[in-house]
Structure 1
């Protein structure tokens, strides 16, 4: 398919899914920052209820087919050593979500309309403290301090919910990749392919026109495929119809379609889990920032917006993501959990060509605190040995540990510590100066209104 036509494919696919589903008549990722509130409460006690402002009629609305949510997530972090300055930064997001059950509202069984708006704010600690890290040390920062349409889709389930068709504006991570974000370092948060290939794989809160199909061919197995309009215009924070590359007059963005495919195995209780195996292909003819012909990359973003300067055609990669419960120590969610993520990107075109991350979490850390949690993770991000950078061939290695305190039914606090070894891959900043390993302390606050 010629590139000048490929930009329309994902939009048409998304619109086609909506139209076909309506005439005939999902798997929906949660916010990548926030932890879901506790189950609905029986009494309106201020300290135990799941929402700060109480029910406000939302239980009745949900029974009628309308589900609403408003959540604030904030990450305050400070650099104790490493980088060029000991300082602190704060970043966060406020998101509004709504789901409309079309079966209850208009009689279209299996139909759902979803809407998510995300407004981000704050500063990047890596920039403020001069830490040349590849991955953000306060992951919620990024993609502009603006209000974004993160999701607007129609989902239709058919054939006893074995088939789901979904189309509209979607982030790739809503339906593919690793779907949790319980750590503050970006290495352990959200869709890993987007962490190292952020120039063309757009994680939350950026959305694209897309069409997705999920097919459950066995009780524990689902195969999924999607088509996304991969256009750098979606990354802009001003006029999305105009996109210029720094220092390249009259340049135009490389665009095409992104096609992820994924197989998911979900083991049954009591040791539940989600095992994902997949890959992606992007049709754009370009090479990533920092590779031959391009001067550098932007730390923490996974590469500058891809530039139409090379003769490489197409980009691809493979990944696995395992989230597995290890023990059942008591009622509910109490027990040990583990995750392991591995992503390998096309060596020809990638500045960051692989990332590995793994960790553990325990829920119900103390018998008298059944909703408190503790987590630990370690990971690595590798810089392509062919990159034009003093960090070429190096590995950035973050370690992170946190304690999550469920302070009330509607507020969760996480006290966090990070140690980032060789930030940037070998510790060199943009000026070619070697920096020390970074020690970062922080706190994440989540409030459900």
Structure 2
């Protein structure tokens, strides 16, 4: 019933959006990054920030309870490339709540957070047999199940200079690049998890973790985290782990994953977030397809699995820049850019680096201050030592979209992707060279 409701809501949202266009009506790892375009008090159906109206949310927030419910949906179709011209749809419904313990329990600086994510749909790469390293509909993945994505307690101390946080957390909630404004996974969410998803678990997967954020200066913050790296958190069959705050059974590959990050947030009209960090995982297992390992080679396959442990750990470094470039009008109107680079150790990684550069402009037209346009180019590299015909190759996606703020609560993005050398050199699971892929799609986001 839940997934039937979500699919119906997506279809209805599209119909309402087209209706609003002709009527003059005026969008998180994981959819939305934009603030509500109008205040809660404006309860006009077309401009209010929530489909069903305020429903007492403003009063609850004043009392210390902040809640939200959002549907994100990605419909994509393969025009060329792969082996089948077909389409796929995937999405997620997420519920979030934050409890201000200062207002609710007299504990200043305390916060309890809860996020539940229900994913659904299919993977276009699989449906169309596109051998891409990165998803062409990024919201797909980690099981069509309802997951506990966040359950944590956070405490700020010493005039908010120190924050201590613990509980069930996805690593991307506190580290890495956090935006997800594109449909190709190369440009979305925590980049280290994009190329090292076997042990760095992006949204919506969470694990038991502890995090410390310390503001060493007004514009500089140092963060350190310790995450239980047990792959049992990836389960889709044990609701005691994926839905409840349980602990998965011990796994011989389990250990700890430790990210460290320095963040600079320049102030003024041209705001930004500059991140420099790295990570170390204590329980290493070399990716399949590297020398000395017989494994299922990503994008090729055909050989039996054999896990060979490497006890020296695995690691990587990254940078992430999110910067406003211009102030072209009031509020958020202007140009923005991001540049992400991640390099994983060559010894253990099948995908050993990824780079992504993108631009976005808010207020594309003077009479459409909430509309946006975005474009990006990136690359993911296959380790030259991989036992694969894709070894040493670079997958290069290009993506462009127009974001239409149809109503205050509905955003549509009309999207086109061109993926060059999917898989690194274009070889699929059968070892056959495939063409570059052209994918057209639309992202729908509804705030209830």
TM-score w.r.t. the length of structure 1 is 0.88
Residue 388 of structure 1: how far off its partner (Å): 1.1
Are 1:33 and 1:140, in contact at CA under 8 Å, matched by a contact in 2? no
Deviations 1:29-62 (A, max 9, x none): x662234451533321000000000000000000
Residue 239 of structure 1: how far off its partner (Å): 2.8
Deviations 1:308-349 (A, max 9, x none): 513342000000000000000111000000000000001000
Structure 2: unaligned runs, 5 residues or longer: 1-27, 242-249, 300-304
Residue 178 of structure 1: how far off its partner (Å): 0.2
* Equivalent residue, structure 2, for 1:425: 424
Relative to 1, partners in 2 of residues 1:307 and 1:60: Cα closer, same or farther, differing over 3 Å? farther
2:140 is the counterpart of 1:141: yes
Residue 286 of structure 1: how far off its partner (Å): 1.6
Residue 366 of structure 1: how far off its partner (Å): 0.1
Distance 1:162 1:311 in 2: 39
* Equivalent residue, structure 2, for 1:34: 32
Q: How does 1:271-282 map to 2 (within 5 A)?
A: 271-282=270-281
Distance 1:35 1:162 in 2: 25
* Equivalent residue, structure 2, for 1:296: 296
Residue 219 of structure 1: how far off its partner (Å): 0.6
Distance 1:307 1:354 in 2: 24
* Equivalent residue, structure 1, for 2:89: 90
Q: How does 1:256-271 map to 2 (within 5 A)?
A: 256-271=255-270
Deviations 1:177-199 (A, max 9, x none): 00000000000000000000000
Relative to 1, partners in 2 of residues 1:253 and 1:420: Cα closer, same or farther, differing over 3 Å? farther
Are 2:274 and 2:320, in contact at CA under 8 Å, matched by a contact in 1? yes
* Equivalent residue, structure 1, for 2:317: 318
Residue 260 of structure 1: how far off its partner (Å): 0.1
* Equivalent residue, structure 1, for 2:17: none
Distance 1:371 1:45 in 2: 17
Distance 2:56 2:284 in 1: 51
* Equivalent residue, structure 2, for 1:119: 118
Structure 1: unaligned runs, 5 residues or longer: 1-29, 243-250, 300-305
Are 1:173 and 1:203, in contact at CA under 8 Å, matched by a contact in 2? yes
Q: How does 1:26-425 map to 2 (within 5 A)?
A: 32-38=30-36, 39-239=38-238, 252-292=251-291, 293-298=293-298, 308-425=307-424
Distance 1:253 1:187 in 2: 30
Residue 307 of structure 1: how far off its partner (Å): 7.5
Aligned-residue Cα RMSD (Å) equals 1.7
Are 2:207 and 2:229, in contact at CA under 8 Å, matched by a contact in 1? yes
Are 2:295 and 2:307, in contact at CA under 8 Å, matched by a contact in 1? no
Secondary structure at the aligned position of 1:217 is classed as strand
Residue 269 of structure 1: how far off its partner (Å): 1.6
Secondary structure at the aligned position of 1:59 is classed as helix
Identify which range, 41-50 or 420-429, moves more after superposition.
Answer: 41-50
Distance 1:231 1:240 in 2: 16
Distance 2:294 2:365 in 1: 52
Distance 1:63 1:169 in 2: 26
Residue 240 of structure 1: how far off its partner (Å): 7.2
Query: When the two structures are aligned, how many residues end up with a matched partner?
Result: 407
Secondary structure at the aligned position of 1:193 is classed as helix
* Equivalent residue, structure 2, for 1:18: none
Are 1:115 and 1:153, in contact at CA under 8 Å, matched by a contact in 2? yes
Are 1:77 and 1:138, in contact at CA under 8 Å, matched by a contact in 2? yes
Are 2:114 and 2:152, in contact at CA under 8 Å, matched by a contact in 1? yes
